[in-house]
Structure 1
């Protein structure tokens, strides 16, 4: 399985991905020999001109993907497909335990003074003589930037099963370079000193690999060097223990260096580490991205070693959220009790430099602790840029799988704004007229149903809501369409609500607490001209079931089931691929398990580090099984297919926030449609509701969005149009007061000083 997370440049900026990526997209010395999902690191903030061509290529922001294949043939096809998509392979690796082939590809964009693309070649499964032959053939016009050695004892490669692979990059500047596939322990230091001091020009290492030679029973090394055009200081170390590497890494960071390559390898039954550091002199255009300044500091970087296979996979997702790309990944069969993976990371977006990052982290950590949540994830757009996205806690407590900003959660009632967007997309296409079309124009409803599609969107249709309905909600059944669900509920003949809405203690007509959208005082509420009955179009009555009828009308108007409409009108054209109908019958390792609160249970969370973040949770995972009223296991988890647009969609928080920004920037709808969708539907009726969205002011600041809560899900989407800010927060447990996620979103807004 793989996933591509297309984040994009500034939304609505008018810059294409190609415009933004006027930087070279190759980094020499990348070593990715461990699996991860396809990632996208394109989070550029502005068009950035690249510096002079240098062999130590270090683009500030680059789109990148990583994937693996189970056979050499499949990997070759994957590589061909990536090349056809304008990508180039920068990392090659083979897991000798699973026989999986791993690759990392970067978008192949060269310096603007040269041709658009680098030419490059990659070869693997070569015997030593074959590798040397390829290297000799290419050395005049190319240079070796990455190599790998791996042992497949049952393969007929060479004499001993030792295989070689490498990546060669076009070398139009004719930089001097050297490489070797076999460097012995006694040769290592002398050769390195010669490359640094005896050659003219001097060289700098860009790739180092250690490997255990089973036949010779000793460590051997491979490396690649290139002309030190920038005359940078560097350091190369080998045969370190994990602790020694950690100490050296901290020391080099304090001295102003960055890690460009790391290799883990077996050394007589223990795990050893080799690494290359260079001066971190590359300018950081992200450092002052919010005020237009550039203090000249090198961009941020990070490193992890001693990771298990699972921990590495989770770390890749976390680091991507934090705004980094991998610049070196290494894999070794676990030895000496150590983890099998190591990775180095480079800042790839402005997120690590965002001034409010630490405060946002603290807000979420406080919330997950204060509310005993299994997990919480959040994403923020500011001035069109994805300045923040993180996840904390567990998406699955039992399996110890951390949440991140691409963990899929239930949207609950945040599905309703999607229903509004979809309606206006269909209206712009001429399929419906939201204000003129009555729902009965599409569905065989009883005479009492005089509501329009817009009435349903604004909760002015007088349709029953959950317990108020006199028919079953069918919440444990699975429906393939909104029409099927509406027919099963017998809403064709359902009587409308005859009693006015009864206010709760907050005066908003819903059992929801502080900071809820549309909160009003009891004295201000107005149910319409006749408070003795609910009149469609003239009175407010919140109803998720009304969105079942809405979805059924969309289906009848278009001939397409509502989940396909969401996919065709929103998810696919706008790269919001996590946005879809929730179907928990389908296995998804990145979907959050859903939990309920149990005061008698304690669980621990993982932390940023053990001393700073230890929280206790009282969460019980709800069992899941095949749908159906006769299946006892399924009845612990409700199926929200009965109202896909009311409460039945799922998404990860990054897509949710990005959707808000796309709407704000008029990328999904025309501006006139967006304004109509966000306008209060009936100014004479309180609480104010727009079409699918809530609209109000928060401490004097205009806000649109929606909150949602259901079994195992809590979500909030807030858009602050005047400040060009979007905040989205999600969790995998419904709180007892239903307000923790919306309060978290508000606190994040406070962090941004907009309220």
Structure 2
């Protein structure tokens, strides 16, 4: 059975108080071009209550509420939107029929309108949930619930003639019947719209394509069981502002999570969520709306193509890239999988090993100690670590610009690397007796082990372990929660598996080299760190300049390194960068020093040349409008 209206409705009987209200005002409230948002799904009642209070205190309001029986338990889900104009709102759940009716009457008297309603059963008892919002625009509205198909059709015709359009539809089994509820608002902007219910999967798919071609978008989606078959109801509206949207249905929990992350990366927000029973178990549907201009960035397609080709060419299970310019995120996306077994997609917030990109971050920690007058770059290392053998004549600066002569991997031995070390100082005692490879300052020879020595110095000067110092001064101080020394004992659903080829392998112990190759992060947080560095929020601008000044050898020749950073140029633009490679990781972090551009490339297999990919991406960013 169908109910539909495609032509724009004529508004009749509009209240005089609406004369001063812009027709687009209410539409902007219900469908803003951009707004902060969040969503949760599958929470217990207690956890939902905690999150509810947290988001409410942060200034958010509920726009969509969902209550379902999943796995024999009652689960709560919601979509939140920042309450930008501070309008009043309310949301209640687990109400009886009488309680819902009383709330409905009370809020209507107070000048609120219903924007979402739910009906469900707990313990065999029919309960209700609803969301109300202060009706500042005095938009006329109506709603009803628990009506059968015939009553629904009758009411549809009535409100259609009166110039209303439907904004919310629900359908739910009640005994042998299907009952319906709906919310309508006066169609003030004469917006084209359509509503169909009791559609089969194939019928919905056909209408989806037809309406999409006509410039309509899905605004509300519902699925339910009827007569032993899966049915769908949906509301379409004319997409008058042309902004992007997406709607998906019949997803497993994993794939809903995958699409949630993928669309979030592409600059969309979730606006409608459904969980519903099917013959194959609980399935999920969602509707997303473009939430910023990231989708319209002129360089997006070129970057997409470059990353996709790079991933395929190098056989990477997963890769994530984030680009910021002057603090604005131009691009954030993952390709492939963080976990090929569970089919968890890579996304911008996937956590990867940084490998040697850990080194410049340790350099920032060191410069913090310099600024606090706890560390002198030109002091001998043994001033801070007097227990080291006397032949360690290098200075702190030489640890950071690879001129220390300290051994690197093969020269340092390897039998101890699988051990767990609580401090860098404990780790360096395994190789500190190895002779230097050259006189400090006479050569440049890359050394990861030198950074564990630097970390031991930082421990001595701060009175904290490297991990504790890092967590305090980087993770917490800068608000970068994924950026931290790797600890696989602490589970994180966003952490990528470690791959050798196409096969996931056990992660090796990195505790001996946190400072030089044991940090993990998402591409989002790594990019934010780069932007904060450019803004002078990590270390002072003077300290940053010092790190980005080409160091010299004893003979006066330039080394190509600053303090940790590799210095160079791309397309005539000065860059500071660092790459990394280790088991399960190949990474690249690049900063265009005078152009405000930060590029982070992280992957979960040690293969490829991300520096070359960064060149391609950098060219696109520099040329983009």
| TM exceeding 0.5 | yes
Matching residue of 2:17:
none
Closer, same or farther in 2 for the Cα pair 1:490/1:370, shift >3 Å? closer
Q: 1:394 maps to what in 2?
A: 337
Corresponding position: 1:494 with 2:469:
no
Which residue of structure 2 aligns with residue 263 of structure 1?
Answer: 222
Residues 184-205 of structure 1 show CA distances to partners (whole Å, capped at 9, x for unaligned) of 211223312322322xxx3222
Matches within 5 A, 1:163-242: 163-198=127-162, 202-213=163-174, 215=175, 217-242=176-201
Q: In the TM superposition, what whole-angstrom CA distance separates every residue of 1:375-418 from its partner, at most 9, and x where no partner exists?
A: 11111113432111111112122222221111111100000111
What TM-score, normalized to structure 1?
0.76
Per-residue CA distance 1:270-315 (angstroms, 9 max, x = gap): 2222111222224xxxxxxxxxxxxxxx211111112112111111
Matched, 1:109 2:84: yes
Q: Normalised by the size of structure 2, how large is the TM-score? A: 0.91
Whether contact under 8 Å (2:63, 2:81) holds in the other structure is yes
CA contact (8 A) 1:731 1:741 kept: no
Q: Quick one: which of 376, 382, 386 aligns to 2:319?
A: 376
Equivalent residue of 1:99, what SS?
Answer: strand
Structure-2 change in CA distance of 1:247 and 1:426 (3 Å): farther
Distance of 2:557 and 2:168 partners within structure 1: 68
Q: Which residue of 1 aligns with 2:74?
A: 99
Cα deviation code 1:472-503 (max 9, x no counterpart): 4632112122122123x141x33211xxxxxx
1:57 to 30, 34, 48: 30
How much does 1:556 deviate?
A: 0.9
1:479 matched to 2:421: yes
CA contact (8 A) 1:439 1:453 kept: no
Q: CA deviation at 1:439?
A: 4.8
**1:333 and 2:277 aligned:** yes
Query: How far apart in 1 are the matches of 2:32 and 2:420?
Result: 48
Q: 1:251 and 1:665 mapped to 2: Cα distance?
A: 49
CA contact (8 A) 1:375 1:392 kept: yes
Of 48, 55, 61 in structure 2, the residue corresponding to residue 82 of structure 1 is 55
Match status 1:136 vs 2:97: no
Unaligned runs of 5+ in 1: 1-49, 111-116, 155-159, 283-297, 498-533, 598-618, 625-636
Q: Which residue of 2 aligns with 1:505?
A: none
- Asked whether the equivalents of residues 419 and 457 of structure 1 are also in contact (C-alpha less than 8 Å), the reply is no
Does 2:549 align with 1:590? no
Partner of 2:39: 66
Match of 1:294 in 2: none
- Please report how far the alpha carbon of residue 227 of structure 1 lies from its aligned counterpart in structure 2 after TM superposition: 2.5
- Indicate if the aligned counterparts of 1:125 and 1:164 stay in contact, CA closer than 8 A: yes
Q: CA deviation at 1:339?
A: 6.8
User: Hey, what does 1:44 align to over in structure 2?
Assistant: none
Residues 679 and 128 of structure 1: CA distance in aligned 2, closer, same or farther (over 3 Å): same
Q: What do the CA deviations read for 1:218-256 (whole angstroms, capped 9, x no partner)?
A: 221111122222221111121222332233223222222
Name the SS of the counterpart of 2:197 in structure 1.
Answer: strand
Q: Is 1:319 paired with 2:254?
A: no
> Where does 1:595-744 land on structure 2 (aligned, <5 Å)?
595-597=499-501, 619-622=502-505, 624=506, 637-682=507-552, 684-735=556-607, 739-744=608-613
Q: Match for residue 287 of structure 1?
A: none
Q: Give the equivalent residue in structure 2 for 1:276.
A: 235
2:12 maps to what in 1? Answer: none
1:246 aligns with 2:205: yes
1:545 is matched with 449
- Give 3-state SS (helix, strand or coil) of 1:723's partner: coil
Aligned equivalents of 1:254 and 1:222: distance in 2? 28
- The structure-2 alpha-carbon separation of the partners of 1:128 and 1:437, relative to structure 1 and needing over 3 Å to count, comes to farther
Residue 436 (structure 1) shift: 4.0
For 2:382 and 2:264, how far apart are their aligned partners in 1? 45
2:452–2:515 CA contact under 8 A, matched in 1: yes
Change (3 A) 1:687 1:339: farther
Shift of 1:211: 1.3
1:67 deviation in Å? 2.5
- The runs of 5 or more residues in structure 2 that have no matched partner are 1-22
Going from structure 1 to structure 2, the CA distance change for 1:744 and 1:357 (only over 3 Å counts) comes to: same
Measure the CA separation in 1 of the matches of 2:240 and 2:48. 36
How far apart in 2 are the matches of 1:455 and 1:724?
A: 29
1:90 partner SS:
strand
Secondary structure of the residue aligned to 1:387 is: strand
Contact 2:571–2:619 (CA under 8 A) maintained in structure 1 = no
1:432 CA displacement: 2.1
Residue 277 of structure 2 aligns to a residue whose secondary structure is coil
Residues 444-478 of structure 1 show CA distances to partners (whole Å, capped at 9, x for unaligned) of 22222222222111111111111122x44632112
Query: What is residue 358 of structure 2 aligned with on the other side?
Result: 415
Pick closer, same or farther for the CA change 1:649–1:124 going to 2, 3 Å: same
2:121 corresponds to which residue?
A: 151
Indicate the larger mover: 657-666 or 471-480: 471-480
Deviations 1:651-697 (A, max 9, x none): 11121122222212323222111111111122734541111211112
Rounded Cα–Cα distance in structure 2 between residues aligned with 1:686 and 1:339:
63
User: Cα deviation per residue 1:102-125 (whole Å; 9 max; x = unaligned)?
Assistant: 122222211xxxxxx121111111
Which deviates more from structure 2 when the two are superposed, residues 535-544 or residues 577-586? 535-544
Measure how far apart 1:324 and its partner are: 0.5
Deviation per residue, 1:505-535 (Å, 9 max, x gap): xxxxxxxxxxxxxxxxxxxxxxxxxxxxx33
For 1:691 and 1:754, the matched residues in 2 are separated by 30
Structure with more of its chain in strand, by fraction:
2
Match of 1:308 in 2: 252
* Match of residue 308 from structure 2: 365
**Contact conserved, 1:271 with 1:338, CA < 8 A, in 2?**
no
Partner deviation per Cα, 1:155-211 (whole Å, 9 max, x = no partner):
xxxxx511110111111332211111223211223312322322xxx3222211121
CA–CA separation in structure 2 for the residues paired with 1:482 and 1:594: 24
Q: CA RMSD in A?
A: 2.2
- 1:729 and 1:139 mapped to 2: Cα distance? 52
CA contact (8 A) 2:381 2:457 kept: no
Which deviates the most, 434-443 or 239-248? 434-443
Task: Assess if the C-alpha contact under 8 Å between 2:24 and 2:189 holds in 1.
Answer: no
Which stretch shows the higher mean deviation, 401-410 or 239-248?
A: 239-248
